[in-house]
Amino acid sequence: MLKKLFQSFRPPVHAQHHRRTTPEVINKSQHSLQRSQFSRHAVGIVERLQSAGYQAYLVGGCVRDMLLGIAPKDFDVATSATPEQVRAEFRNARIIGRRFKLVHIQFGREIIEVATFRAPHSDEDQDDKHRSSHHANGRILRDNVYGTLEEDAQRRDFTINALYYDPVSERILDYANGVHDIRNRLLRLIGDPTHRYQEDPVRMLRAVRFAAKLDFGIEKHTVAPIRELAPLLREIPPARLFEESLKLFLSGQGAMVFEMLVDLELFAPLFPASAQALDDRPTYTHTLISQALSNTDLRIKQGKPVTPAFLFAALLWPALPARVLHLQNQGVPPIPAMNGAAHELIAEQCQRVAVPKRFTLPIREIWDMQERLPRRSGKRADQLLDNPRFRAGYDFLLLRESAGEQTDELGQWWTDYQEAHDGERREMIRDLGSRDDGAAPRKRKRTSSKRKRGGDEAFD
Ligand code: ATP
Ligand code: MG
């Protein structure tokens, strides 16, 4: 397929992958891109900026993905115009500033991100207020240094992300031999890998994400320093790591991402407690997490909605038993121990990857459901069915079973119960008899002792 994409274009024999000052120019007849495939709003922005006298290109993921025949997630524009100059050209534009100043131009639900060409940071210029600011370990903290197109290409992460498409001339400019790497399905950092990871350790996670998403190999110098530098991720703000984790696990290749993160030792700095569980109970933990991610990958492929809370609930679940046990050994009763452990574990996780409240609450609810699902007698089963979290709780129970947890066929019971008619349901509840713990209030004493068993059952 790629042969067709790059009809007559052939890369130079001795492709030099780092710095080039003149780009490889790939003309319209030498590539498969068509202006009409790109967002017309993005193309419109480029045309407008060019006619105002600025340089402007479509860049990054959209050019890369189009060359690979994948539908791009979004369209990014790079330009020589400053954010203020861009804003002056468009009514629907606003400047946003996270790590760097960018312009968002909105067309209904589509937002096009326009970035001004940036220069790579320069180590000699650390004192200059206008240059980028560095942390002692080489990390870039501020990066608002505008530069030329050539410089902009050099400071991008991977060669395949540094392709510039001009929809007016329909040419691609390639400063880093990205087209060569696309043909060979290889992910390669621009510049010295160790240095580039030190500047921004998140590039290690991006390497994993793109390799999994595009099914690319990682070039050997690009992969080599990762294990050693993985601990640098501990210095990244937890909010950024949350965003990046979502992209990793919701990429549609989450199961593969997980394998790569573990292999490259990037999993532990993100999820320390889960990594510990992976050491302590490798088969169970690995099965549970990969199964959750495979299910998610499948749902994404089928266009079904996925909830990050379910994923995080699964990622952290194997780390719970050790915590619960620890509290119980200190004399805390089972249910409070479970609650305390859940609270601690989530709070600790948020120090690394800042999972927002809107997800941590449902995580707790999914976990609580695991204690409630065994208790079915009287009206409880029907009340649980009406609970808005029932479905997630039930799916989570099936997930635990698929990882080998012993639940006394509770999952099958709930599957049958959902499919049963009213009469059959009453019979199922009757049949539970003494097996179930949901006794009437006057037998409360027995209830609590069974409850304890229910709570422990979760961790068998
Ligand atoms: P996708 O949007 O499909 O996830 P993308 O390549 O567009 O992939 P973005 O995060 O949208 O990724 O970034 C757009 C472009 O900005 C990238 O293609 C890359 O050129 C550059 N870029 C993004 N993050 C970094 C980084 N941490 N270091 C260097 N360049 C980066
Ligand atoms: Mg993008």
Give the tens place of pLDDT for each residue, 99-151: 678 999 999 999 999 999 998 765 433 334 344 555 656 565 555 688 999 99
Q: Which ligand is nearest to the CA of 39?
A: 2
Domain assignment present for residue 383? The answer is yes
Question: Residues 283, 163: one domain?
Answer: no
Q: How far is the CA of 454 from the centre of ligand 2 (A)?
A: 47
Question: Residues 165, 285: one domain?
Answer: no
Mutate which of 104, 156, 164 to test ligand 1's pocket (most atoms within 8 Å of Cβ)? Answer: 156
Domain assignment present for residue 121? The answer is yes
Domain assignment present for residue 391? The answer is yes
User: Encoding tokens for residue 387?
Assistant: 């609970």
Q: Is the minimum distance from the CB of 157 to ligand 1 under 6 angstroms?
A: yes
Indicate the helix (H) or strand (E) that contains 365.
Answer: helix 357-372
Q: How far is the CA of 112 from the centre of ligand 2 (A)?
A: 10
Question: Residues 171, 302: one domain?
Answer: no
C-alpha distances in Å from residue 374, one per residue of 31, 171, 202, 370, 428: 60, 63, 42, 8, 13
Domain assignment present for residue 6? The answer is no
The CATH number for 324's domain is 1.10.3090.10
Active site residue 76: yes
User: Encoding tokens for residue 15?
Assistant: 């492709």
pTM of the model: 0.86
- Which residues on adjacent β-strands are paired with residue 101? 97
Rg (CA), the chain: 27
Burial of residue 358, with CB atoms counted within 10 A of its CB: 0-12 exposed, 13-18 middle, 19 or more buried: exposed
Q: Is the minimum distance from the CB of 113 to ligand 1 under 6 angstroms?
A: no
In the chain, which residues have pLDDT < 70?
1-20, 98-99, 121-144, 434-460
User: Encoding tokens for residue 411?
Assistant: 């999952």
Q: Residue 378: its pLDDT value, please?
A: 85
> Which is catalytic among the residues 143, 152, 157, 395?
157
Question: Residues 137, 284: one domain?
Answer: no
Q: Is the minimum distance from the CB of 178 to ligand 1 under 6 angstroms?
A: no
Question: Residues 182, 285: one domain?
Answer: no
Question: Residues 172, 315: one domain?
Answer: no
Q: How far is the CA of 204 from the centre of ligand 1 (A)?
A: 13
Centre a 10 Å sphere on the Cβ of residue 316 and count the other Cβ atoms it contains: 22
How many independent structural domains does the chain possess? 2
Question: Residues 155, 296: one domain?
Answer: no
> Which is catalytic among the residues 74, 200, 368, 456?
74
Q: Residue 135: its pLDDT value, please?
A: 63
Domain assignment present for residue 73? The answer is yes
Domain assignment present for residue 15? The answer is no
DSSP 304-362: ----HHHHHHHHHGGGHHHHHHHHHHTT--HHHHHHHHHHHHHHHHHHHS---HHHHHH
Burial of residue 57, with CB atoms counted within 10 A of its CB: 0-12 exposed, 13-18 middle, 19 or more buried: buried
Q: Is the minimum distance from the CB of 202 to ligand 1 under 6 angstroms?
A: yes
Cα–Cα–Cα angle for 57, 63, 66, nearest 5°? 140
Q: How far is the CA of 158 from the centre of ligand 1 (A)?
A: 9
Q: Is the minimum distance from the CB of 200 to ligand 1 under 6 angstroms?
A: yes
Q: Residue 121: its pLDDT value, please?
A: 67
Domain assignment present for residue 130? The answer is yes
Q: Which ligand is nearest to the CA of 143?
A: 1
Question: Residues 189, 280: one domain?
Answer: no
Q: Which of 144, 167, 196 is the last residue of a domain?
A: 196
Question: Residues 297, 415: one domain?
Answer: yes
User: Encoding tokens for residue 221?
Assistant: 């110098």
The CATH number for 184's domain is 3.30.460.10
Question: Residues 319, 181: one domain?
Answer: no
Beta strands in 122-267 (DSSP E): 133-134, 140-142, 163-166, 171-174, 186-187, 217-218
User: Encoding tokens for residue 143?
Assistant: 């990066």
Q: How far is the CA of 161 from the centre of ligand 1 (A)?
A: 7
The Cα–Cα gap between 283 and 130 comes to 52
Mutate which of 161, 181, 232 to test ligand 1's pocket (most atoms within 8 Å of Cβ)? Answer: 161
* Backbone phi and psi for residue 50, each to the nearest 5 degrees, phi listed first: -65, -40
**Contact between residue 342 and residue 360 where contact means Cβ atoms under 8 Å apart:** no
Residue 310's domain comprises 268-432
Question: Residues 191, 289: one domain?
Answer: no
Active site residue 74: yes
Q: What's the length of the chain? A: 460
Domain assignment present for residue 459? The answer is no
Q: Which ligand is nearest to the CA of 153?
A: 1
